[in-house]
Amino acid sequence: MSNTQQTTDLARRAYRVAPTDSTPFYPRLLGRHGAVASNSYLSVNAAVDVLKAGGNAFDAAVAATLVEGLVNPQMHTIGGECPILLRLAGESRVIAVNGNTAAPGAAMPEAFTRRGLKDVPAEGILAAGVPAAFSALMTVLTRWGTMTFRDVSAHARELAAKGFPLSDGLHHQHKYGLVPLREKFAAEWPGSAKLYLRNGTVPAVGDPIANPALARMYDYLASAGDPLAAFYKGDVAAEIAKWSRERDGLLTREDLARFETRVEAPVSLRFGEFELFKCGFWSQGPAELQALALMWQRGIQSMQPGSADHCHLLIEAMKLAFADREQYYGDPTLAWVPADVLLSEGYAKERAALIDMRHSNLDMRPGDARRNAALLPDDEKFTPKEWGPGTVHVDVVDAKGNIASFTPSGGWLMSAEVMEPLGFPLSVRMMTFYLGPAHHPNVVAPFKRPRTTLTPALAFKGGKPWMAFGTMGGDNQGQWLLQYFAYRAAFGMDMRQAIEAPRLSTEHFPGFFAPHRGAPNRVRIEPRFGTKVLDELRRRGHELDIAPDWTEGFVSAAEIDEARGLLEAGCDPRGPKSECFPAFAYCW
């Protein structure tokens, strides 16, 4: 029997004989009523129920975020932050909600140095600013939602009171899960131990985890005439201020009472028919725009996706863009940020010419945005002397065309003790601040917003709303998101293909988090790019750290085709493959 005949005989009962190497894991999730994607099936369920009950995308995104903060507390709790991008149905504008924390009034460099500190601590009460997430959620709900806080918090309140099944990620996620944190909880943080341990041990996957204190707090807020005031000026604020005072923290009740969420215009750039919107220069979002502008200048559209040229250009463009992030980004209300120059075509053209397509560059090379030149003199660079954490994301699109892109983060379990009366820890986002030099754009100051890695994304295509997307990942968030966008806008991939395509990240620049270390020239890369590509990148001088496959990025997305009345949602198989969280998407 010939090989051809044998193959034909064997294939008679097959349902596919073509290779599946390039086909995605997940089906296309298409519908006309709603599209939701997030980092837990339980938060997706909450959002879908809200939409089916008549709520809009903003109601649904708030409901999902409240659940995320309960079931993925290793990544985010209500003690953290939540930057947001929105598109209102029928409108061509995008709105940015600055869901970032603010430093306490007493937060000056001297408050830390006189305690013998060289940086804002990476954990504990001295790194705590005002919890910003609840204010951001309520700002969206009251301005553009249609439901009450009682309505949208119903799922979170029920799950907190009755319990939810412990997931793989919360149980044993690398660094962040309960298993790696057990000893710290037992020895140092009794509030965290009481909530998450059972007689000093971690519950099994699937065991119910209830949070009675959080349920009581949400019930209190749901019954309040003004939930926002109840949180920042009522009993919740009193408990937070007491917790801070008893531990020598800087955060006071006055800091909580004066806090407000800012509603702002986003920043954006066009790439052919595509326009990408990001939060302002208090986030790392504009660095994604800068990197993409450099790649477009060097003709990424003509390259083969996943090729050595594509990867090399990506890495070198990110090095340049994120060097500018280190040099210039900060709270634009309290620091001068040369925004117009950084996002200008002329500046991108000057900077793109610095990229050598044959060799990796080992230096930190911020541009001279003050003088609109390609390179900043060495004596003006903010390069930390050492140069040498968790998030989730929620996307919702409704049938009317409202689009929500939420990136909740902070208040995670590894960096602060759970406040027993409230059921959540405070964020330590202030650790991204510097203590000097005094003219650094991100030096700590009273009421200043620290620059943050959190970077939701929203894009238009042909002048029409197209998609919301985002990921967790700290300093890697922006890198993974710009790769997803480039896979779609430069290479024409669909949502599933772009989510599942191989990714990489560079550690070349200083990190946002104290002690702000970087690893010059290091690239963490998934092996699915292939041996030939990896060998060629090494030949060009890159130091490669070969990551386990399916570990670089956790993108979720929801999109709309208004002309066809079609919605789509998608999530990243890397979430469950990496045992970080049970990512899920749903469309109907």
What is the pLDDT, as a whole number, of residue 10?
A: 59
Does the pLDDT of residue 388 top 60, yes or no?
A: no
Please report, rounded to a whole number, the percentage of residues in the chain having pLDDT higher than 90.
89
Phi and psi at residue 257, in whole multiples of 5°? -65, -30
Question: Looking at residue 410, what DSSP letter applies?
Answer: B
Q: What is the pLDDT of residue 1?
A: 47
Q: pLDDT band for 475, please (50, 70, 90 cuts).
A: confident
15 pLDDT band, cuts 50/70/90, is: confident
Give the residue from 314, 359, 308, 311 showing the smallest Cα distance to 533: 308
**For residue 434, which of 76, 82, 75, 103 has the smallest C-alpha distance?**
103
Predicted confidence (pLDDT) at residue 386 exceeds the cutoff of 50: no
**At residue 225, does pLDDT exceed 70?**
yes
DSSP codes of every residue in 83-122? -EEEE-TT-S-EEEEE------TT--HHHHHTTT-SS--S
pLDDT per position as a tens digit, 174-198: 999 999 999 999 999 999 999 999 9
Q: Say yes or no to pLDDT of 13 above 90.
A: no
Give residue 559's pLDDT.
98
Question: How large is the average pLDDT for residues 17-35?
Answer: 92
pLDDT at residue number 4: 52
Q: Are 38 and 395 in contact (CB under 8 A)?
A: yes
Structure tokens at 485: 């966008």
pTM, two decimals, is 0.96
Q: Is a pLDDT exceeding 70 seen at residue 536?
A: yes
pLDDT tens-digit map of 342-367: 999 999 999 999 999 999 999 999 99
The better pLDDT of the pair 382, 200 is held by: 200
Smallest CA-to-CA distance from 121 within 427, 424, 438, 452 is with 427
Q: First vs last Cα of the chain: how many Å apart?
A: 49
pLDDT, tens only, 274-317: 999 999 999 999 999 999 999 999 999 999 999 999 999 999 99
Is the pLDDT reported for residue 485 higher than 60?
A: yes
DSSP 430: G
Mean pLDDT of the chain: 95
6 has pLDDT over 80: no
